Amino acid sequence: MNRMKGPIFSWKAAALIAGLLVIAYLMMNFNSRIAEMRRLTVQRESVAARLEGLEETRTALTTQIAEATAEGAVIEWAYQEGSMVRPGDNPVVPLAPQGSTPVPTPAPVVQRPLVKSWQMWLWLFTDSSTP
């Protein structure tokens, strides 16, 4: 009984291998697309959070500008900090009485702690926080 065997390489096996290779390629491509989607989702959330913070900052700055340019705020600043007067106001400038001399306020003297030279050298070599 001498049976003739078929060829070792068959078209069915070749089609099966080609199909498996195509499926493996598609799976790897799908996996890389899923990873890219996750990365972009994280990036989108980060940008959205930053945008929200910038919107809050813009709203706060717009409110500050509106408050600062209001007529009442400008008049209040002019009187209190700007040293300005309206027409018809009589500004009062305090003057020192005649013949008086101002007494200078002495500046406090800061006394440095006395450090011996060997302590200074030790401090330089050991790099401790206090001499």
The per-residue pLDDT for range 23-37, each reduced to its tens digit, is: 999 999 999 999 999
Residue with tokens 């302590």: 119
Rounded distance between C-alpha atoms, residue 93 and residue 83, angstroms: 11
User: pLDDT tens across 43-53, in order?
Assistant: 999 999 999 99
Report CA torsion sign: 23, 26, 31, 37.
negative
According to the model, what pLDDT value does residue 26 have? 95
pTM listed for this prediction: 0.42
In the block, tokens 């001399």 appear at 101
pLDDT digits (tens, 9 = 90+) for 103-115: 888 888 888 778 7
**Segments making up each domain of the chain, as ranges:** 10-86
Average pLDDT, the chain: 84
